[in-house]
Amino acid sequence: MVEPEPHPITVAIERRIDPARTIEATSWMQAGTDLATGFDGFLGSGWVRAGESSDLWYMLYRFRDRPTLDAWERSTQRSWWLDSGRAFASEVRVERRTGIEGWFDAPFATHVETRHPTERSATGPIQQPIPPAPPRWKQAVTIWLGFFPTNLLASWLLGFIPGFTEWPLVARVLLATVLLTPVMTYLVLPWVTRTLRPWLQKG
Domain ranges of the chain: 9-104, 136-201
- Judged against a pLDDT cut of 70, whether residue 104 lies above it is answered with no
Distance from C-alpha of 43 to C-alpha of 185, rounded to nearest angstrom: 9
- Judged against a pLDDT cut of 80, whether residue 134 lies above it is answered with no
Q: What is the largest CA-CA distance in the chain?
A: 65
**Which of 177, 100, 176 minimizes the C-alpha distance to 140?**
100
The whole-number average pLDDT for the span 88-104 is 74
Q: 10 Å Cβ neighbour count for 140?
A: 11
Q: What is the pLDDT of residues 11-28, one digit of tens each?
A: 889 999 998 888 899 899
Pick the most confident of 90-104, 114-128, 178-192. Answer: 178-192
Q: What is the pLDDT of residues 162-183, one digit of tens each?
A: 988 899 999 988 998 888 888 8
Indicate the residue type of 124.
Answer: G
74-83 long-range contacts, CB within 8 A, separation 24+: 75/39, 77/35, 78/32, 78/35, 78/36, 81/28, 81/31, 81/32, 81/35
C-alpha 182 chain-centroid distance? 12
Distance from C-alpha of 105 to C-alpha of 126, rounded to nearest angstrom: 18
Q: Is the Cβ–Cβ distance between 176 and 183 less than 8 Å?
A: no
Report DSSP letters for 151-199, one per residue: HHHHHHHHTTSTTGGGS-HHHHHHHHHHHHHHHIIIIIHHHHHHHTHHH
Count, residues in the chain = 203
Beta strands in the chain (DSSP E): 9-17, 42-49, 56-63, 89-98
Q: pTM surpassing 0.85?
A: no
User: May I ask the CATH class of domain 9-104?
Assistant: alpha beta
